[in-house]
């Protein structure tokens, strides 16, 4: 007998996620619990010992009795305790049918999710439609010798990393409040300097909560020059993957580019904790922009990146778009009816 569950509490949520054959820190209850945009919900279809679980955030649509679903900031999407390739067609179809019933019951008219590039989630979600390419995402293979990794750096970058290492910067892994405050201040300064939109700003409490609730899967790496913070990175890591979730550089050290030193140090930490991949991500909005080119100076290894943008109730969706006058706005935005509610589209990097 197949059953579907909606789970909202930590122990039951993580009971499923941690049994998945592959999952990330972004899938855990702790990461969803600090998302302020709505109510965390884990949809689970279970058949015997097999399950498929999809973590999402349920959001009320302003000035409406309807809701929509979105993923957390990062790479989430569905997981299972069996590879999707090995699940039966019947079970995959039942997941779709059950999830559609769930959306109807919960008055949810659309769903957005950033997909995980290391998990073949498209095999499951292609049954719904709404899968969109989102450029390339880069990663460093940590299973090769470190010297081979360095030789894969752009020549100018490798020279800069060696020079930065000679400066005797002090690398500290810390979660004390002083370090969190220093990181938060640098991060906010960076976002203001580049003119980032509202969804990229986070309060100090966000960083503190993330580190406190996710002690097994998060690390704050700070780099100091004789006690002065030069930069830092808030890292998320799972069994196989480490990544810079958010990073910051002191405006007083922009010319020294400590971010290059930090990126190399993250790869070394990944090796120490047994990660196989250092996932660097891509450019803003899936573009091969300056951010992408910076990351590509460390590695040329890429994966295809995708998002899932599914409309369950076209009539309700189109009515909201018309009501809010959003049809004339940028068509890359999803869901389009939120284009005047939120400051940006769903986070892409």
* C-beta separation of 53 from 78 below 8 A: yes
Select the CATH number that applies to the domain covering 2-129+313-338 from these four: 2.30.130, 3.40.630, 3.40.1570, 1.10.3470.
3.40.630
Judged by DSSP in three states, 272 sits in helix
Decide if pLDDT at 133 tops 80.
yes
Q: How confident is the model at residue 32 (pLDDT cuts 50, 70, 90)?
A: very high
Q: Domain limits of the chain?
A: 2-129+313-338, 138-303
Give dist(CA 211, CA 205) in Å, integer.
10
- The conformational region for residue 281 under phi > 0 = left, psi -120 to 50 = alpha, else beta, is left
Separation CA 154–CA 159 (nearest Å): 9
Same fold, 2-129+313-338 and 138-303: yes
Q: Which fold has domain 138-303?
A: Aminopeptidase (3.40.630)
CA distances from 245 to 61, 237, 280 (A): 28, 9, 9
pLDDT digits (tens, 9 = 90+) for 223-239: 999 999 999 999 999 88
d(CA 221, CA 37): 27
Residue 239 sits at φ, ψ, to 5 deg, of -60, -40
Of 215, 212, 231, which is closest to residue 223 (Cα–Cα)?
231
What percentage of the chain exceeds 90 in pLDDT?
Answer: 84
Provide the β-strand partners of residue 53.
Answer: 44, 79
Both tokens of residue 311? 């409309």
Mean pLDDT along residues 82-96: 96
Location of structure tokens 């284009």: 339
Please tell me the predicted confidence (pLDDT) of residue 311: 98
Which residue is it, tokens 């899932």?
308
- Distance, in Å, from the CA atom of 267 to the CA atom of 278, rounded to the nearest integer, reads 6
Is 245's pLDDT higher than 90? yes
d(CA 98, CA 178): 47
Please compute the mean of the pLDDT values over residues 47-71 and round it to a whole number: 96
Say if residue 29's pLDDT is above 70.
yes
Alpha helices in 174-233 (DSSP H): 177-194, 204-213
């Amino acid at each position: 007998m197949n059953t579907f569950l909606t789970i909202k509490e930590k122990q039951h949520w993580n009971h499923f996620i941690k049994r998945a054959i592959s999952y990330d820190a972004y899938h855990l209850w702790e990461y969803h619990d600090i998302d302020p945009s709505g109510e965390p919900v884990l949809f689970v279809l279970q058949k015997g010992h097999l399950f498929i679980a999809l973590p999402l955030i349920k959001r009320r649509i302003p000035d409406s009795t309807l809701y929509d679903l979105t993923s957390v900031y990062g790479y989430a999407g569905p997981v299972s305790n069996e590879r999707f390739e090995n699940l039966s067609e019947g079970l995959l179809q039942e997941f779709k049918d059950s999830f559609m019933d769930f959306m109807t019951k919960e008055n949810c008219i659309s769903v957005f999710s950033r997909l995980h590039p290391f998990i073949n989630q498209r095999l499951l979600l292609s049954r719904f439609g709404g899968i969109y390419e989102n450029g390339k995402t880069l990663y460093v293979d940590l299973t090769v010798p470190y010297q081979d990794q360095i030789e894969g750096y752009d020549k100018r970058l490798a020279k800069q990393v060696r020079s930065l290492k000679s400066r005797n910067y002090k690398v500290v892994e810390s979660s004390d409040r002083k370090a969190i405050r220093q990181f938060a201040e640098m991060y906010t300064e960076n976002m203001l300097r580049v003119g980032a939109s509202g969804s990229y700003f986070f309060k100090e409490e966000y960083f503190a909560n993330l580190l406190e609730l996710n002690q097994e899967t998060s690390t704050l790496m700070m780099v100091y020059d004789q006690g002065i913070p030069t930069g830092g990175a808030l890292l998320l890591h799972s069994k196989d993957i480490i990544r810079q979730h958010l990073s910051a550089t002191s405006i007083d050290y922009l010319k020294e580019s400590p971010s290059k030193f930090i990126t190399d140090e993250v790869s070394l930490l990944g090796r120490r904790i047994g990660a196989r991949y250092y996932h660097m991500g891509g450019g803003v909005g899936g573009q091969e922009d300056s951010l992408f080119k910076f990351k590509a100076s460390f590695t040329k290894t890429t994966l295809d990146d995708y998002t899932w943008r599914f409309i369950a109730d076209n009539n309700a969706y189109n009515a909201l778009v018309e009501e809010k006058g959003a049809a004339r706005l940028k068509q890359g935005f999803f869901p389009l009816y939120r284009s005047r509610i939120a400051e940006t589209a769903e986070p892409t990097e």
